[in-house]
Each structure stands twice: as C-alpha cells, then as structure tokens.
Amino acid sequence: MQHIPLIPYPDPIPAPAGILILLEQLFFLIHIILINLILGLGLILFFKWKREKNFFLVNKLIAKKIPILFAIGINMAIPALLFLQVTFGHLFYTSSILMGTFWILIIPFLIVAYYSSYVHYKKFDISWIAKYALLLMIVIILYIALMLVNNLSMMELPEKWNAYFTNRDGTIILWNLSSLYPRYIHFIVASVAVSGIFYSLYFSKKDSTKSHEGLKIFAYATITQIIVGIWFLISLPKDIMLKFMGGNGIATFILVFGIVATILSLIFAFKSRLKISLLFLILTLIAMVINRYNLRMFQLEDNLNLSQLKLVPQWDVFTIFTFILLLGIGVIIYMLKIAFSRPNEVRK
Amino acid sequence: MNYPIWELYYLNSGTLIAIISVVHVFISHFAVGGGIFLWLTDLKSVNENNLALKSYVRKHIWFFLLLTMVFGGVSGVGIWFIIALSSPWATSILIHTFVFGWAIEWVFFIVEIIALLIYHYKFETLSDKNRLLVAFIYAAAAWLSLFIINGIITFMLTPGDWLKTGNFWDGFFNPTNLPSLVFRTAICIMFAGLFGFVTAVFEKEEKLRQTLLRYCAKWLYIPLPFLLISGAWYFYSIPENARLTNFVLNKQTANAVNVFLISSLLIYLLSLLLVLRSSKIFQRLAVFVLLMIGLSWIGGFEYMREYVRKPYIIYGYMYSPSILASDEEKLNREGFLKHAKWTTIKEVSEKNKLAAGRELFNLQCLSCHTIGGFKNDIIEKTRGLTYLGIISQLYGQGKILDYMPKFIGNEKELEALATFIASLHGNKKHSISEFQPKAEKIEIPPFNLQKDEYVLLAWSTLGEKCITDADKWFSFLYPGCSFQTILIKRGLKPQIISEGIEIDYEVQKGYENPSKHSDFWKYAQFLKDKKIPENVGLTGKGLKGTFEFDREKKIFSVEGISVLPYRDDGTFNPYPLFTIRAIEKSTGKILQRTKLVAPVSTELRCFECHGGKPKWNGIAGISDETAINILRVHDRNNGTKLLENALKGKPMMCQKCHEDFIVKSEGKKGYNSFSASIHGWHANYIPWKDEKACNLCHPNDARGNTRCNRDIHAKMGIGCTRCHGKLDDHTSAILLSQEGTRTAKLLLRNLKPETPIYNIKPRKPWIQQPDCLTCHVGFQKPKENISAFNKWNYDLSELYRNRSENTGKIPCIACHSAPHALYPSFNEYGVNRDNIQPMQYQGTPFPIGSEMKCEVCHKKKMQGSQHHANMLRAFRNKDKLKQ
C-alpha cells in the first residue's frame, strides 16, 4: 500500500499494549462522560434560558457545577491522551501535525471556554453576559469535539495522509470522510442524553417534575442517538461495517450488547426508573467505548500490529504508578469525605 | 525526519513553544509556591487567630484558582500539544520513556485539582484542621508534580547514564535533577510572594495592606540565598562543553542572561520600593510592573535553559530538528532525504534542487528558523551571503558555533538547501567576469657588461603585499611596500658598497596619488592611532624617496611605501614599477640604475561569500556592502560593535585585538592571532581544501587580477598547498601555535588535516614558514611529489628573506627575488616584469649568476660553488619559458 512508508517508526512501549489501551479507554470513558455533561448541561441551560419559571433559581447550582466539571474533565483527558500516545503515538502525532493549526487553537479556545464557564456561573442571574458566555463555551466545545473527531479519524486512516503533500499548513480536515459527520453528531447527541439523565438525577430528590423532564430529554436524545448510530455504522466502509454485523464475533457482540443496553435504558427511562436506566446507560457507554476501540483497530488493521511494538517493560515504575494512583484515589476520597460530611466538628 | 512538518514559515512552532512555555512556567511555579504560601499563611492565620489574614487567604485562593487551575492547567496541556507538533519524535521519546512518570505527575495533578476545589468551595464549611489539611495536601501534591516534571526536563539537558542504559531511573535522577529541583523550588517560593502582592495591594485597609505586603516580601527575599547557591550549583552541573557553547559562543544566550540578571535586580528593588512606599496607586501599578518583570525573569531563565541544551533536544541523543545523533554518519553517507519519511523527493537532481531544498529546510531548519518571520528569520540570518557564502555557512555550521546542529546530509543535499535559501533572497546573482590583465611592455634598463662598474640588486621583501582597502570599515593590511637593495662593485672580488652612496627610488607615472583611490589616510588616525600625511606610508616614506642603510643587516632598505595597484588613469596593475638609483654622494654620479615591481594587491575575494562587488572600478578592493556584511557577522558572532563604530566613522584595525607579527601588533591577551583567527574561522566554513580555498582570500585566483603565485614553481604546477599544506593542515599548524587563547581548540576540533593532528608541528605565522631546503635538499633537484609542509624554520633569521648564501654577505633573495616571484617569474602584466634585474644584468630571466653568469659581479667566470652548492650548472627548467 502506498501510504505505509509514511507511517513513522514507533518507539518501544514500557508495558504490554493491553494495559496501556485499557488505561487509555478507562480514562477516556470518564473524560467523555464529563465532557458530555459540560456540553449537554450547557445546551440544556441555553435552550431553557428564561423559558421556565424560576430559571435562575432552579439552575444556579447546575451553572456552578459546569466549571468544576471542566476542571476534572480536562484533567481526565490527560491520562487518556497520555496512554493513547504510548500505543498509537506515532499515528496520533502525525494526524495532529496534519491539522496542527486547528489542533493548537484548541488550547487558547479551551482557556476562553473555561473562563466563560466561570463568567457564566458568576454572572448567571446577574447579567445578560452569562448567556453569551455559555454560548461561547458551547461553540468552543463543539469546535474542540470536531477537531478531536477529525484527529482521531485521521489517525486511524493513514491512507488519507497523502493530503499532506498538497497542504502542509496544518489545516487538513477530512470533510469528505462520510463517517466524520455521524461520528461527530453521535458525540453531540450523547452529550444531551447523558446530561438529561444527570439532570434527572440531580433533581431526583429535589423536584420530581424536573427529574422527569431530565429523563425525557435523555429518552428523546437516545432515540435520536440510535438513528445517528445507524447512520454512523452505514457510513463506514462496507468491510468494516460488516465486521460489526457478524463479521467479527466480539465486535458484533459488543455492538449488540450496547444496543440492547441502550434500548433497556430507554425503556426504563420511559418507566421513570431512573437508577436502572442509569445503570444501562453506563453499560451502553462502556460498550460504545469498546466499539469505538474496535473501529479503530479495524481501520488500522493493515497499518498497525500491536504485537509488533517493541516492549521494554518498566514494571518497577508501573508498580509505583499503581501505588501512587491508589494512594491518590485514597487521598481524594478522604478529602471528599471531610468536605461533604456534616460539619459536626467544633470549629476552632 | 520521522514525522511530517507543520509548515509554519512566519510563526514557527518553536516560537509558539516559547510563548506558551514561558507563560505556563511563570504560572506553574506560582501554582507550586502559592500552594505552600496558602497553607502556611492559613496556618499562621489560625495560630494567630488572625481573621484579617484569613480573609486575605480567602481572597487569594480565588485569584489563585482562576490563574493556576484554568490558565496554568490548560497552558500546561498546551506545551504538550505544541511540542508534539513541533518535535513529535522527541516528544514521543519523552512520552515512551517516562509515561509512568507522566502518569504519576497526573495523579498529583488531579489530587491538586480536587484539593484546590475543596479548599475554595468548602473554605467556610471545613474545620480549621481539615481546611489546613486540604491546603497541605494541595501544597504537597503541587510540589510533587514539580518533582516529577523537573526530572524529565532536566533529563533533556543531562540524560546522564540513560544514554547507555535507557533506564527510566538513570534518566530521571540525572546530574542536574537535584540542583534544578532546589532552584525551581526557590523560584516557586519567590513567585508565591510575587503573586501574593497582587491580592495584597487590593486590601483597602492601609495598615493591613502594608503588613500583608511586608509578609509577601519576606517570601520573595527568603529564597534569595537558596536561589543564588542552587543557581551556581545548577550552572556548574551543566556539562562544560554545553556551558562553553551556549554561554560563550552563542550570543543569543547573552540576551537571555541579560534579561534574567536585569529582571532579578528589578524584581528585588521594585518589591522593596513597593513595601516602603504606601501610595495605593503606586502599589497597584508597581504590582503589575512586577508581574511583567517576573514574566521576563522566568522567560530569561527558561530561554537560558533551552539554549544551553543546543544543538540537541535531548543532549547527546537527538539534535534540535529531531535527528538522532547516532544516525548522523549514515545520513551524511547515504543522504538525508533518502531516509526521511515525509518527503516525496528522495534524491537531489538539478531539476528538483529547489523543491528538495525546501524539504531540507523544513526538516532541518524550520524547528528554529522562520522565513521572513517572527524569530530567527533565515532571510535575515543569511543576509549578505552569496550562494557560495550559504554553502560555506552550511558546511561550517555547528563546527565552531556548535549551538546549531551541523548540516546533515550529502553534498548535493547541502547544495539544494543552499539553493533554496539563496532563492529566498530573490536569486540575486553577482557575476564577476574574469579579469584579463593587459600585458605592458617593459623597458629593461641598460647594463654594459664590459664597462659598468656596479650592479644594483633590489627586491621586494614580500612576493605580494596585500592591502585590505576597506579602511572606512576595517583594515588588517594597510599600504606599505618594503624594498631592500645592495650595490655591488664589480670585480674579481666584488664588494658591497655601503658608504658614500645614496640609493633612491621613484614610482612609475600614474601611481603617485594613492590617497585619491583609498580612504586609508582619512581613517589612519583610528586605524593606526596617528594622522598620516596623504600619499605617505606609516614610516613616513612616500612614492619617491631614499633608502636607509640598515647597519645590522648591512643592506639598504625602505619600509612602508604607500603604493597601491590603482593607476590614476583607471588602470589596475598590481605590479607598479619603481626605478632605483644608486648615486655617489660626493659627485652626484649615478652609479647604477635598475627597476623592480612593488607587488601590491587589493584583490581579496571576500565578495565571493560575503556579497557585494569589488570596490575599485569593480576590479578589486572590498566594497562597502561586502565590508558591512563582514562586520555584521563578526559582531554577531563575537559580540563586538565594529559596524556601529565604523558607521560612526571609527573603523578599527583587526590587529588591535588580534596579535600579528607582520603589522607589529601585540593584540589583546587571550585572543587568537590574526592569522590563527582568520584561518581558523574560515577553514571551518570553506568547503574546499585546496588552492581554490587559498585563492578566496589570497590574490592568486586564475580568474583574478593579481595571480601572485607567479614564479617557476607555479609554472611547474606547484601550488600553495605543496609548501603550506592544505587548508586544514595549514590552519592546524597555525592554531597549534596559539598559547593561552580560549578558542583555538574550538577552531581546531572539527578540522580534518591530512597529516594526523598529533604529527603537525606548530607554526608561528610570519615568523615560521616552509623552507626551500626542505625540498631542495643540499640545493639539489627535489624528489617527485615532495612537500615542504610541516618543516618550519626555527626563527626569523632562518627565513628565506633574511638568509644569506655561504659568504654571509649576499641575501638569497637578492639573486632569487621575492618569494612566489622567484626568477624566472611569469608575470601576466608583461613578460619579465618581475625579471627586470636578471634581464638587465645577464640577459636571461634566471637567478642572478645562474647558468655560470659569474661575470655579472665577478667580471669573469669563476670556479667552485662559493655561494651555495649545485650552483654551477644550467637552469633545470628552461623549457618552461617556452610555454
């Protein structure tokens, strides 16, 4: 194949690819849920803006959560991106360069979006500026998401890299890739769905109408999502699509599992069984992350063989990392505990 | 070469790295120091039950969170993004080597974030104890993340044993890890104070404000001694070569050092003022000025740190443009493009030269250089260089000034890159057409072998006296020819006459007014520290005058005749004739008269590389453009202000700093001699090693206007290098003679002499030279292919021009003429122009007395080789005269 010579030489990996991929996907799952929430909640607030009674009063705390979600969401992108760069680094750096200009713009835009979320919260019920800050934040997240979808699509399709020889400005977007659109929209709709259920959960003990409304948002978004998902599937090259439809046992199973979980969460949502619906949603999300990974491996089939990556294990450092990670989680849990426990201590 | 290149010609990715990094580092150090500051200040407020202080802490957290978590956090990711775009391969190595290190750092980061969010959002609801605990966790996690990142950053400068083992720990706990950690911790504490001011100045209550400011100032001052000590420790942990390269040779580092030092001073002075003056407006203003200075301070530091790593991105492992050091040899041998992944051109051809040059520029230059852009603009950097100049620049790049990597690739690729860079200058081509000397008829003075009683032998001490002729800008050789002469009374026992006579000289018509053609007299007071009357040389000698008798050498001599090769009618002739007359003082009778040339040339082909055209009628001399280009390069590489001073009308003699025997200058201590400097520098850059290289500076180009190497040796095809050695050999010998200079070693280290360096004998320029008798052993015919290189005379007395024949009375040069113009000489400006005396006295162009012409002095044939062995015979290479 003509594109193969372009693929850079990979560097040795310090742990078996499976571990690195597992870590990448785990953190990606957390990251994407958080980003879904920021975008989805943002969209919900934006479309509800002043259209309901006591809008500011009811939603102030949601507005407050967005910057916090932002902080953790960005943070969770780091390990996902880090572990991605170990196994797929040589592909990812290349695709990033091909769209370097758009890719680096993420950084200043993200800073603006992050500050916008603070402006939105601080001025939520005080100034008209809040709404525009929210809009700015949404637009930027939509931009970043498109760039990420483009980057990962390009990373997975080295046959598209020849575009470099006619455009070296770092502005390559795969506009003519038919799966780019459903993949992107799949993310946006997921944001609304995930935020819908979060919304419902948030109000579950405070306001049952709102909670119900959240579930409704979730349900309609999920129905839309099924359509987009089908669109995504059929937009893929036929051989890959067929792998998800019986051609590859595991991939088919995960996809079917995901679809079943989606339908179940939808059914329970209509039945207002929030917690079970949430459980199936989480299962759906896990399945979808695996689907996403399977798609990547199918697309890269000719160009990447994980078992050929040179392994120079660093088990000692890995062990220390695991220990520190557990310690970190422990510390975080401890801090959350003291932060959210009832203030029963006598304050000095 | 493993990855595609983001082709940003105006604002290259290197510049973007600098912008993002400096801002990030400024804030991230504050994030670490500020954590400790918040914790300890909060602790103090609790211990002292100081509510005002607690309220200050409360306000400070908000500012802290907005700045560090949002801007600091995202810009940190920004560095990661931009380095991966700019140097993906190096980033990949950092990621793959240290992935679990990065992951550990991320754990600290998430703990930091959660702690900070809790500290901020739960400040009021947490108990003092728990709040302080959270603050402490934040501070500890923040410092620990510094601990990790510090190990990885310092790894890039001093990878230590990692280079051999590839082991994580060897790379992490590298030689500069600890000093850098202490230094950066001190910076963090200092920045905590600096940013502490920001919240403090907005405190409305004056007394409290002053207390807070004083408190913050302590944070600024307490780490100062640690900063100084660890700074020195850090500095001396850097490999010596890296320090030399980047703190001495790289003048850009000097800018960073200056910014750093000045900012240090300003920070500490202004912060003192801030505390001492209580004006609210002043304080608020000062705080923002202080922050800006702080930014430039850390910018200065980070720039220094980045510079000191040059030419590597991972020291000793990978060069700045992401080329593995271990691949260098292979790429030079097999070609660079052949092994580059992201180019369609794999081999350079005449057709694709320009496109290939662009690929090479992208792959080897773009990571640091822009094209017409913001920083390190390649057009600006190569301004004033011709195509050959660019070729030389690329050839010599990274050899002396090794903060730049060497060009990596084969010869054709080097040419392709030079073609591309030259094209950026609009393909200006200076074509200097070949000069055609006009042969002039020479009138040989009469001599009557029977009647004449005297023979007057005169010679120039140098075969060619070169003159810079760029006096408005600089000079290293000013006008001043020297002649020597002896008057011999003919007879069986000829006598050298020194009493009762006067010997005078006079230049031929048209050369009497050198000051019309040269600025030397205008600038002599700056060049030679004294005013010199027009047309007169340094010793007071004009174009017409008398010889002085040198009692020591027992010859008549005149030094410093200010003749130039420019004739008033616009003719260029570097061999003006002088008439010499020996006159009996008592009677005024002319005892003998002869002629000789003053070989004098202003042909320095600097323009071949440095641009411009020859100055005098487009023929010779260094033009303003060329001279300016040269000074600009000298200033840039040595931190001098020669161009600025010259523009102010104060040009300088190069030898003011660089010792030079021939112009009797001692120079400055620690500097290389002029000859060592100019040869040492250029030998590293000029891509040729044979006569072609010599002829760029010495007036002997076959297309040129002097063709100074004009004697029988040249005629026989014996060029400069047979005696002086090829460029690198010649230069090495001179450099080896340098004592007590700091750069001779640098100039030497990349030369590739043919004679092994340990066998090369040091040679003091002008004092030691190749010796005739090295080849002409016993005055005999030399062996085939013998070379005179590497066997030097011991001292001045042994120089050809100072030596005499066996009787000790007649200098060798009197009969054989000047070096490079030995009889018979072949002057392009007229047959026998250089052979006037042998033609006059014996009717042949051969050495005086050769071919048994003893009668020239002895009036009859003699027997025995009195003057030197092997002299009584026919001239060996007569056939060369016919060619």
Residue that is written with structure tokens 């000047």 in the block: B818
**A234 and A272, same domain (yes or no):** yes
> CA distances (Å), B755 to each of B184, B240, B676, B720, in order?
50, 29, 18, 16
The answer to the question of residue A281 being in a domain is: yes
Number of Cβ within a 10 Å radius of residue A72: 18
Give the angle A115-A117-A118 at the CA atoms, nearest 5°.
Answer: 65
Chain A CA closest to residue B141: A328
B473 touches A at CB < 8 Å: no
Architecture of domain B326-424: Orthogonal Bundle (1.10)
User: Comparing C-alpha atoms, which of B636, B625, B81 is closest to residue B376?
Assistant: B636
How many CB atoms are closer than 10 A to CB B531? 8
Is residue A57 located within the same domain as residue A198?
A: no
> Residues B681, B785: contact at Cβ < 8 Å?
no
Q: Are B479 and B621 in contact (CB under 8 A)?
A: no
User: Which of A102, A107, A334, A341 to mutate: most B Cβ within 10 Å?
Assistant: A107
- Could you read off the pLDDT of B692-745 as tens digits, one per residue? 999 999 999 988 899 999 999 999 999 999 999 999 999 999 999 998 888 899
Q: What is the pLDDT of residues B774-785, one digit of tens each?
A: 999 999 999 988
pLDDT digits (tens, 9 = 90+) for B555-609: 999 999 999 999 999 999 999 999 999 999 999 999 999 999 999 999 999 999 9
**The predicted structure's pLDDT at residue A206:** 85
Q: Are B88 and A8 an interchain contact pair (Cβ–Cβ within 8 Å)? A: yes
In single-letter form, the type of residue at position B378 comes to I
Burial of A307 (0-12, 13-18, 19+ CB in 10 A): exposed
In chain A, which residues have their Cβ closer than 8 Å to the Cβ of B123? none
Q: Decide if pLDDT at A299 tops 90.
A: yes
pLDDT surpasses 80 at A4? no
HSE, side-chain direction, 13 A CA sphere, residue B303:
23
Which residue type does B525 have? Q
Q: Which residue of B has its CA nearest to A118?
A: B66
Question: How far apart are the CA of A126 and the nearest CA of chain B, in angstroms?
Answer: 19
pTM of the full predicted structure? Answer: 0.91
CB contact under 8 Å between A5 and B341, yes or no, is yes
What digits encode the pLDDT tens for the residues A274-288? 999 999 999 999 999
Same domain, A93 and A162: yes
* A66 band by pLDDT with thresholds 50, 70 and 90: very high
Average pLDDT over residues B49-60: 92
Kindly give the pairing relationship between strand B652-653 and strand B474-475: parallel
d(CA A39, CA A44): 9
Task: Give the residue-averaged pLDDT of B261-271.
Answer: 91
The pLDDT of residue B183: 95
Beta strands at B548-550 and B474-475: parallel, antiparallel or unpaired: unpaired
Q: For chain B, first and last CA: distance in Å? A: 55
**Which one of A176, A198, A233 terminates a domain?**
A176
Give the ipTM: 0.95
Q: What residues contact B681, with CB distance under 8 A and at least 6 apart? A: B400, B747
A329 in any annotated domain: no
- Give the integer Cα–Cα distance in Å for A58 and A41: 13
Between B46, B75, B342, which is nearest A164 by CB? B342
Give yes or no for a contact between B671 and B677, defined as CB atoms under 8 angstroms apart.
Answer: yes
The answer on A153 and A208 residing in a single domain is: no
Q: Which of A103, A154, A314 to mutate to test the interface with B (most CBs of B within 10 A)?
A: A314
Distance between CA atoms of B652 and B641, rounded to whole angstroms?
10
Q: Hey, is the C-beta of B97 within 8 angstroms of any chain A C-beta?
A: yes
What is the separation of C-alpha B565 from the centre of its chain, rounded to a whole number of angstroms? 30
Query: Taking phi first (over 0 means left), then psi (-120 to 50 degrees means alpha), and beta for anything else, what does residue B701 get?
Result: beta
Burial of B491-518, coded b for 16+ CB within 10 Å and e otherwise, reads eeebeebeeebebbbebbeebbebbebb
What is the residue type of B557? S
The C-alpha of B376 sits at a distance from chain A's nearest C-alpha, in angstroms, of 20
Do A67 and A117 meet the contact criterion of CB atoms below 8 Å apart?
yes
- Cα dist. B141→A128, B42, B67, B134, B148 in Å? 39, 17, 17, 10, 11
Query: Looking at A127, A155, A176, which one is the last position of a domain?
Result: A176
- A13–B81 C-beta distance less than 8 A: no
Torsion of CA B242, B247, B248, B250, to 10 degrees: 90
Strand B495-497 to strand B481-489: parallel, antiparallel, or no bridges (unpaired)? antiparallel
Nearest one of B603, B822, B613, B623 to B706, comparing CA atoms:
B603
Q: Mean of the per-residue pLDDT values for chain B?
A: 93
Residue tagged 């100062």 (tokens): B224
Report yes or no: B182 and B138 within 8 Å, Cβ to Cβ. Answer: no
Does residue A330 form part of some domain? no
Distance CA B603, CA B707 (A): 10
Instruction: Indicate if A155 and A44 belong to the same structural domain.
Output: yes
Both A17 and A122 in a single domain? Answer: yes
- Tens of pLDDT along B18-51? 999 999 999 999 999 999 999 999 999 999 999 9
Cα separation of A106 and A144, whole Å? 6
Rg, chain B, Cα only:
36
- One-letter amino acid at A191 equals S
Residue B235 token pair: 């500095």
**Contacts of range B148-152, beta carbons closer than 8 Å, 24 or more positions apart:** B148/B101, B148/B102, B148/B104, B148/B105, B148/B108, B149/B105, B150/B177, B150/B180, B150/B181, B150/B184, B151/B101, B151/B177, B152/B94, B152/B98, B152/B101, B152/B102
- What gap in Å lies between CA A7 and CA B2, rounded to an integer? 8
B5, B48, B54, B70: best to mutate for the A interface, most A CBs within 10 A: B70
**Number of structural domains in chain A:** 2
CA distance A281 to chain B (A): 26
A335 assigned to some structural domain: no
Nearest to B93 by CA among B155, B137, B33: B155
Determine contact: B125 vs chain A, CB below 8 A: yes
Q: 């059929």: which residue's tokens?
A: A234
- Going by pLDDT thresholds of 50, 70 and 90, the confidence category of residue A348 is very low
- Kindly report the length of chain A: 348
Which chain B residue is nearest to residue A95, measuring alpha carbons? B4
Q: Cβ contact (<8 Å) for A114 and B70?
A: yes
Residue A342 lies in a domain: no
The domain in which residue A11 lies consists of: 7-176
Identical topology for domains B326-424 and B454-601: no
DSSP string, A23-52: HHHHHHHHHHHHHHHHHHHHHHHHHHTTTS
Based on the fold, state whether residues A63 and A156 are members of the same structural domain: yes
CA atoms within 13 A on the CB side of B368: 18
A-proximal residues of B, 160-219, CB under 8 Å: 166, 168
- CATH number for the segment(s) B454-601: 2.60.40.1930
Return the domain boundaries, chain B.
Answer: 13-318, 326-424, 454-601, 667-882
Burial code (b: 16+ CB inside 10 Å, e: under 16) for B831-867 equals: bbbbbbbbbbbbebbbbbbbbebbbbbbbeebeeeeb
- For the cut 80, the answer to whether the pLDDT of residue A1 exceeds it is no
A196-232: pLDDT as tens digits: 999 999 998 888 888 999 999 999 999 999 999 999 9
Pull the structure tokens for residue B51: 């509510």
**Residue B247 reports pLDDT greater than 90:** no
